[in-house]
Structure 1
Amino acid sequence: MSRIRPRLIVSQHLLAAADARIAQDYDTPPAPDHKLTEDELVAQAQAFRPDAVVVTSSTPVSAATVAALPDSVRVIATISVGTDHLDIPAILARGITLTNTPDVLTDCNADMAMLLILAASRRAKEYLALVDSGWGRSLGLDEMLGTRVTGKTLGIIGMGRIGRALARRARGFEMKVLYSNRRRLAPDQEEGATYFADPREMLPHCDVLSLHMPGSKDGKPVMTAELFGLLPRGAIFVNAARGSLVDEDALIAALKDGQLAGAGLDVCRNEPNPDPRLLALPNLFLTPHVGSATVETRTDMCMLALDNVDAVLAGRPALTPVAG
């Protein structure tokens, strides 16, 4: 007699290994050929009555969506670390377990932050533009000079898993590491980094500043004209965290007037349609929110989401639950 398999829906097409696991272990409708909207997710959930819903950051789960989900749903697993797209109180109030995928993308996001530091410091966008145009001439000895990274001082706002992983990479470039965090880390986690309770006191010492913190719930930026102005003139700014953390008008002004020599972003406020003024800046290196975009990491994220679903539906505690 065949066992009754749990029912699951996903908000978008996943990686092949995850699709194969779902096909083996779950009853599920065909994977969508696009990222589901909230209305589409609700319609599919009401029609299919799943035990579990797997989403990504591309499909919000608002209070209205939560209210419209059938009582069959026991767990929502997001394939992301961030939870900005989820109404956590509404989900938990319905007694639905919520999980995310921390840890497995730490190294790839730290690698991306280091890439952005190097690209912004060494004028990668301008070099690529020159080569793409055919190159065609020798550069002068004093032309298109970047900024050396080795030996500089790196400031990190948000010294969680990714911030600490970036600090380890920066030490390979003999960088001095400063950080500001909601609380001071234990000495073994600091690994010699210097703590500042107030980021405003840290910024004047930073040749490079990198953000590694969640987006604010009220959408207010952390990096404003005031804070950009506290950095040494000619500093490098990097954001591989959340676009909502930055006042983009202030960032653009700082890049245009030389307060910042360059910036590297993997995120922006209006994704996937960034402010055209950002795209026009020669000293801004922008990637399309791909910090976790490796085969290994995206597969691990999918598998952790499914591990969470398996645990909850089997009556075990979730591996990586999101608390209220």
Structure 2
Amino acid sequence: MKIYVTRKIPEAGLALLRPLFDLEVNLEDRPLSRAELLAKIADADGVLCLLTDKIDAEVFDTAKKARGFANYAVGYDNMDVAEATKRKIPLSNTPDVLTTATAEMAWALLFSAARRVVESDAVMRSGEWKGWGPLQFIGQEITGATLGVIGSGRIGRAFALKSAGFGMKVLYTDEYPCAEMEERLGAKRVSLNELLEQSDFVSVHVPLMPSTRHLIDEAALRRMKKTAVLVNTSRGPVVDEAALVRALRDGVIAAAGLDVYEAEPKAAEGLAALPNVVMTPHTASATVVSRNGMATKAANNLIAMLAGRRPPDCLNPEIYL
């Protein structure tokens, strides 16, 4: 059986697949074009794909032999789950293994934006620093501040729990209460508007769905404190990026830390020119432990699919009923 991997992933995952299948991997360090993707998967029995690959009806029509698609990501907004379920094609993702890495990156962005680390680093490297001054690079203090967490799933919860060492007041908003956050942190579940109005730091941890697209829009940004910092490590389109550019430029909020963007790999016009935003290129899961874990999970999911078994991280388990 033939497996196609749409972009090279860590060897930990490929090593599981290589002895079992005829394995072909896209070795170019770029996403495939649509035409390239369709051509490569036409005779595949299984596909290991990435968030940059749109897995939809056209893909299913092309890959007629495919017995499953394993996403190398925890998110799966690139996959048409309903269409796959209708056709009884299993899909999977890679939950849990990138929880810690993503939560840590959210904190890295929060600290960097709050304390103006990147901005001051650039001045120091430029050779233009004239020496210490009492009004230079004044930022926001984290200890004792109010932290707002939008979404208390795996990553949002892990992020929030790391605030304990800073004695922060924690607010969160979610469809469901989180007993662990409430018991361990004294966190309070509130409405989104209340969270935005009261928080010094707001971190976004929701999946991309129709209901969360532009969840943080111009109106939401205007509800935030002028001293507030926004962090997004979830999905780019959850934040209206053009509205964020205006808010940062006009002093509606103080700063932002972003790892995801609305139209990746591009950022909204004017965003990169702003000194009060810290930008990383979708690298929240980029640790050895996390990326190896993602690779092995995706590989094991695909192995199960091709053996006719329900994969451990199946997105449409009802097809096995």
TM-score, length basis structure 1: 0.92
Deviation larger for 283-292 or 228-237 = 228-237
1:149 matched to 2:146:
no
Query: Which among 67, 86, 95 is matched to residue 88 of structure 2?
Result: 95
Contact 1:121 1:146 in 2 (8 A): yes
Partner of 2:10: 15
Q: Within 2, Cα distance between the matches of 1:270 and 1:219? A: 16
Partner of 1:27: 22
Q: 1:177 to 1:30 in 2, by over 3 A?
A: closer
Residue type of the alignment partner of 1:65? V
Q: Within 1, Cα distance between the matches of 2:182 and 2:74? A: 21
Q: Within 2, Cα distance between the matches of 1:91 and 1:233? A: 45
Q: 1:86 to 1:264 in 2, by over 3 A?
A: same
Secondary structure (helix, strand or coil) at the match of 1:40 reads helix
Query: Which among 38, 41, 50 is matched to residue 42 of structure 1?
Result: 38
Q: Within 2, Cα distance between the matches of 1:92 and 1:202? A: 37
* Equivalent residues in 2 for 1:287-298, closer than 5 Å: 287-298=280-291
* Equivalent residues in 2 for 1:223-234, closer than 5 Å: 223-234=216-227
1:316 matched to 2:309:
yes
Partner of 2:55: 61
Partner of 2:116: 123
1:261 matched to 2:254:
yes
Calculate percent identity across the aligned residue pairs: 35
Contact 2:259 2:282 in 1 (8 A): yes
Q: Within 2, Cα distance between the matches of 1:43 and 1:85? A: 19
Contact 2:160 2:181 in 1 (8 A): no
Contact 2:232 2:258 in 1 (8 A): yes
Residue type of the alignment partner of 2:40? Q
Residue type of the alignment partner of 1:29? E
Query: C-alpha root-mean-square deviation of aligned residues, in Å?
Result: 1.9
Partner of 1:175: 168
Once the two structures are TM-superposed, the CA of residue 189 in structure 1 deviates from its matched residue by 6.6
Q: Unaligned regions of 5+ residues in structure 1, if any?
A: 1-5
Deviation larger for 242-251 or 148-157 = 242-251
Contact 1:11 1:56 in 2 (8 A): yes
Once the two structures are TM-superposed, the CA of residue 61 in structure 1 deviates from its matched residue by 1.2
Contact 2:8 2:25 in 1 (8 A): no
Which is bigger in relative contact order (C-alpha 8 A, separation at least 6)?
2
Partner of 1:3: none
Q: Within 2, Cα distance between the matches of 1:36 and 1:200? A: 40
Residue type of the alignment partner of 1:38? R
